[in-house]
Amino acid sequence: MRCPTVVATAGILCLAASSLRAGEPERQPSPNAGAIVRVVDSVLAGLTLQEKIGQLVQYSGGWSTGPSGRRISDEQRQIIRAGQTGSLLNVTGAAETHELQRIAVEESRARIPLLFGLDVIHGFKTTFPIPLAEAASWDPDAVELSARVSATEAAASGVHWTFAPMVDIARDPRWGRIAEGSGEDPYLGARMAAARVRGFQGASLRDPASIIACAKHYAGYGGAEGGRDYNTADIPQRTLRDVYLVPFKAALDAGAQTFMASFNEIDGVPSSGSRFLLTTILRDEWKFDGFVVSDWNSIGELIPHGFAANPGEAAERAINAGLDMDMESHCYRDSLESLVRQGRVTIATLDEAVRRVLRVKFRLGLFSDPYHGATPERERQELRNPAHVAAARKMARESIVLMKNAGSLLPLPPNLKSIAVIGPLASNHGDLVGTWAGPTDTNDVVTLLDGIRETAPGAQVTYVQGCSIAGAETTGIASAAAAARQSEVVILAVGESEDMSGEASCRSSLELPGRQKDLVREVCATGKPVVVIFMNGRPLDLSWEQNHVPAILETWFLGHEAGHAIADVLFGAYAPTGRLPVTFPRSVGQVPIYYNHKNTGRPTDDQEHYTSRYLDLPSSPLYPFGFGLTYTSFRYADLRIARETVKAADTLLVTITLTNTGLRAGDETVQLYVRDEVGSVTRPVRELKGFQHVHLDAGGSTVVTLSLPVDALAFTGLDMRHRVEPGMFTVYVGPNAAEGLQGRFQVVPQ
């Protein structure tokens, strides 16, 4: 390829691009900040007004199909050739992206490389568990590896940029996009956000296996009223800063190069037009120097919000607020030139937005290798290679949560002679990949039935669907019950279809859809030992099952290796280690429900009438945040706090003695929570501040030490300053947010 004309003309840091063969990975070290500034300013100086605007416009890839198959449309070629777009989304494949990029760097006047974006949410060709499931692992290292595999495959197919991680805090399981995030807690969400950014971006963006991360949806999207997608989020600024923004800051600190503005409004201002979010916090306070992209048409949607009267006004409000790239609304394309000429948008504002986009492209190395190392050969080598499939199986195992195991029904014995596998999700390929699966082949999915037959070859395995996921028919339920009666044990797979969670897939009910509840009841009525496998993208109401089913596994949507992973847990090849990243309610009537709530002047007491409670059910959740069982049991004892008084700059050490009191080896996730007893504003009843995985053999015991940096106790006080306030704190160490040992310490002034 040739260097961009404007760079070569300026004679600054051409990076010897002409010496690289097409698709050869960049081998030079990343340039320093000064070099980036010089090159970006040089490129910017050579652009026309129309070309600058083009860098801020993103289109979804336009394809047409002719007699010879898929081909690039003439319109798409012309848009690129004319410099009218800086980025394309939904275009994949090394050959396809190579051809479009060639047009950009060889046939356009400015010769600036395109940025190819795609929603790589939980895998590319190799599908991993949905993000909510991965968060149930409480294993940031495993989550980082998952993102790294996804990045490696996507990059090999010409993708430069993923619209992930989604780091929205979600306290309402009716909201469909709870499946895409890490649940309700800002600390766990921050750990997972940082892990995914590290996985996507790697040690260097110039590594051909790295892609750019995009923290979304900024901000407060998970607080949508009524659990209804795109809805208003009524979030006080203090809650915004102390809860909803925490994972975004963690993503930024981990190096995230882009943010995506959300659809919702907060306090009357939609995010795509919020200077407070996009400039005051993101740029001025946090010093973010990447760029912000809109969500799909979210600039255009400022009009139905009632925040702009027309596309021109929407474009003006968005770019002046600090939104750099317009995804598919066409407002920037159609209006920015006239807005600049009218003085409603200054050339300095426009230039700064373009500068941010160019800076990220340069950091990715696209001015040296516009193809970022993607070739058809590398694509064939990377997609679904055995190491990636093995990583997907490991991640799927760790994502499974054992909710109940009465009588130690699990793990199942190896000498079973007959097994009934029942349910609409037992032999299901397409739904197990979950929402926002990549461009994958669902025929490669290992179903639960496949996994059981492979793991228990000596057993007679009878499969009956019983009913559909959402239909009203019941004719198969009798056959399912008959199969159950003729088997030693029943494995029953129920839940949601993949399109029941994710974007625009919100539900007013948390019950099993269709006639699945009838199926569960009839199978349980046979008296046979039953293991219910739940496959879903959100917490469901499992109250009946908790009271009537011997064993319950929450497996979410686990991706390609679902069947293998579940069978590994069922038959004891892997003891479950998952813990809930989100509270499970007893009823949808408790929603929103989350562990780190505030107290009231009349705290909940189900024995006292005039307290904050319900008349018709306990106020406690069915399963608390952090809950999860394994195939052994653990005892917590001897909580010790190293110091009674600490200062904000200190780190407090908290220890407990953990003992495996069961008959099997197992893993425990020891969780540390803190309560600030009195503050200048009210504080949550508990807040997660640390956790540690511990493996113990049967009968084993160890001292577990947890570190608590005192500055992690900071919050936004009455004066809106973020700091640690002196006072008394209660610390809790236990297996979940509802149990544990406790002690106290005091923070004193510096």
What is the C-alpha to C-alpha distance for residues 638 and 676, in angstroms, rounded to an integer?
Answer: 22
Where would I find the beta strands (DSSP E) of 591-686? 634-641, 645-646, 651-660, 666-676
Contact of 656 with 638, CB cutoff 8 Å: yes
Percent of the chain at pLDDT above 90?
Answer: 92
Is 295 a residue of the active site?
Answer: yes
Give the per-residue pLDDT at 27: 37
Whether residue 20 has pLDDT greater than 70: no
Which residue in 119, 295, 324, 541 is the catalytic one?
A: 295
Mean pLDDT value of segment 465-471: 98
Q: What mean pLDDT comes out for the span 333-354?
A: 98
Lowest mean pLDDT among 25-29, 426-430, 722-726: 25-29
Could you give the CA distance from residue 322 to residue 286 in angstroms, rounded to a whole number?
14
What's the mean pLDDT when you consider all of the chain?
Answer: 94
Q: Where are the domains of the chain?
A: 392-590, 634-747
Rounded Cα distance between 191 and 186, Å, is 9
Concatenating the DSSP letter of every residue in 81-134 gives HTT--SEEES---HHHHHHHHHIIIIISSS-PPPEEEE--SSBSSSB---HHHH
β partners of residue 66: 69
State the virtual CA torsion across 376, 378, 383, 385 in degrees, nearest 10.
140
pLDDT tens digit sequence for 29-87:
567 888 888 999 999 999 999 999 999 999 998 543 333 334 567 888 899 999 999 99
What per-residue confidence (pLDDT) applies to 212? 98
CA–CA separation, 289 and 293 (whole Å): 13
Whether the CB-CB separation of 240 and 266 falls below 8 Å is answered with yes
Protein fold of 392-590: Rossmann fold (3.40.50)
Q: Decide: 316 and 339 in contact? Cβ < 8 Å.
A: yes
Q: With a cut of 70, say whether residue 6 has pLDDT above it.
A: no
Instruction: Tell me 278's DSSP state.
Output: I
Q: What percent of the chain has pLDDT over 70?
A: 95
pLDDT in tens, 343-352: 999 999 999 9
Residue 708: pLDDT over 70? yes
Q: Give pLDDT tens digits for 552-569.
A: 999 999 999 999 999 999
What span, in angstroms and rounded, lies between the C-alpha atoms of 307 and 434? 35
Q: Hey, which residues does 212 pair with through a beta bridge?
A: 161
pLDDT digits (tens, 9 = 90+) for 246-297: 999 999 999 999 999 999 999 999 999 999 999 999 999 999 999 999 999 9
CA angle, residues 37, 39, 80, in degrees to nearest 5: 120
The answer to whether the CB of 675 falls within 8 A of the CB of 729 is yes
Lowest-confidence range among 18-32, 599-613, 688-702?
Answer: 18-32
Q: Would you identify the CATH topology of the domain 634-747? A: Immunoglobulin-like (2.60.40)
Say if CB 23 and CB 369 are below 8 A apart. yes
**Nearest Cα to Cα of residue 232 among 193, 278, 175:** 175
